[in-house]
Structure 1
């Protein structure tokens, strides 16, 4: 991994699936070229969203009429990407919640589709577009299945910031792009079949608490990343020290109070943004809950 272009297709299980992808990419040596297709509002999240924006992630408005050309042009730009990249695509279109699952099950029953148990029904237009536009220069699809052990809480940014441990299991399978069919309808069905297989795999994980141990492969932590973190931490600490020394903010009570208020304001704003980014507070989740209540 990390030595070829790849389209990474995953179920959207938690609020921090993007972080799981970053960790996988970092340990595979391609974090700097890890990209994703995200909803447009994500780029306004402080720090995290801005970093995605500056890294040229593809942001969509969740309206195919508006997004079709945006996605196509963004995918075509990757043709000349100078190093191996991963492009993550969450084809379910939204994060998994019980209310959304119930809505997906009702939709599947109404339209004669297989009833999902652990995933949502994939929205295949984006996947079809990605395959059609990237087939010539992306050799593989990484089929990622993310699972949370049933005795563990669903991970969120707030829990991570509170230093609460999170456990996530990931099953990753490489699928050659050459095995995909050529027509749009067949590509869409291939995607649906992949999610049916994910559903069965998650059933197995629910019973066993893990994926098949025979496929377990530990991924070590590269020393380079640790050195980068230490270097940046040292640089920012020194810059902060020099700034406070130059500004003399901490030399008076007024300056100390002002500094504390600014830090509190930043903390509150970050908390609000993170809270509203959680799956149960999303518009899709609220719409699903409303449909469930009506039924």
Structure 2
């Protein structure tokens, strides 16, 4: 049964923000005083701190909304998950693909050591963005002259991470929408490329740089393909807060980095070909309802996230009760007003976090910079436009 989001956002927000601020302060102290002395110790401790915060969101996914993650992979790949450094390349299908990635990372023991390549605005998000910064996420300005140097510098630092880690990259650079697909199809036709139907055209510069800079210590690429079962709405963070269940299908194919081409052009073409294969996989699912021929593996929901949330709830609840007893905050109008203001701030911050995860909505009217399509080209780009479809 779905619950009003506000009934969940406020209590969850109080726990998440207060626990997150405590963790952020500890991370800052460790970064200033421990990191310069021992990067190894800093990363080991920070992994635990990061997991204790991110597990709160995973608890919502697993135990509140009951999001089901169906994982398809061959047996060898499944056994290696979490036991080796890996670069994950994914199609960006829903608002919470990153959170589904965290769920898979947690299942395999890589949650606190997972990093991702993201746009720089995310590092300014309260609590969660700050934790990503301390976890050594790579934030880009979408200015390649600056981003190339930043990527090369940061990957030199990641070489000596003490535990197996994942680097996640949404190569398309943005979330899939119908409007963006039309633009990608126009571009593909103009360049004589395979016209996509279910993915966008990958932006390969970042991928090429990452592969070149990490070949010596990242042995595998996990080619991940996400999709939502047909007829089901795409999961969002807001739907999770409402407790609305959903499911996601994920296929992971492992490729050895040593088997990739050596030249930048060859690496870029390999990435482009991988997305052509993703598109074919998703198109096959649309027509046959068979998503993957690989083995379906059960990934159990761990109880650790419940334990972490229960510990934080008890600890923060104890502190808040003692604080209200000591301050008599609720015995005066000023104190009541301060408490209400705090709750409003918590709600606003949580709304900001939810809004930051939402992709822009597709619009019926195409943007001004997209060429007007003639009827013949429109049928070429969208041969099934006469049939109703679910845009996610």
Common topology (TM > 0.5)? yes
Give the alignment's TM-score, normalised by structure 1: 0.91
Distance 2:187 2:146 in 1: 25
Structure ID, larger Rg: 2
Give the Cα–Cα distance (whole angstroms) in 2 for the partners of residues 51 and 99 of structure 1: 33
Pairing 1:91–2:171 present: yes
* Equivalent-residue separation in structure 1 for 2:202 and 2:183 (angstroms): 13
Number of equivalent positions: 293
Residues 123-181 of structure 1, C-alpha deviations (whole Å, 9 max, x = no match): 11111111101111111111100101231112222222222223211111111111111
Unaligned runs of 5+ in 1: none
1:15-164 correspondence runs (5 A):
15-164=95-244
- Structure 1 distance, partners of 2:134, 2:153, is 17
Residue 186 of structure 1 deviates from its aligned partner by 0.5
Question: For 1:134-283, what aligned pairs fall within 5 Å after superposition?
Answer: 134-209=214-289, 211-212=291-292, 214-280=294-360
1:290 pairs with 2:368: yes
Question: Cα offset for 1:223?
Answer: 4.1
Shift of 1:102: 0.5
Task: Give SS of 2:202's match.
Answer: coil
In structure 2, do the counterparts of structure 1 residues 225 and 258 end up closer, same or farther at CA, with 3 Å as the change threshold? closer
Alignment check: 8 A CA contact 2:95 2:236 kept:
yes
Alignment partners' CA distance in 2, 1:201 and 1:66: 35
Residues 99 and 292 of structure 1 are in contact (CA less than 8 Å); yes or no, is this contact kept in structure 2? no
Q: Gaps (5+ residues) in structure 2?
A: 1-80, 374-392
Deviation at 1:280, TM superposition (A): 0.9
Counterparts of 1:210 and 1:237, CA distance in 2: 48
8 Å contact kept, 2:177–2:361: no
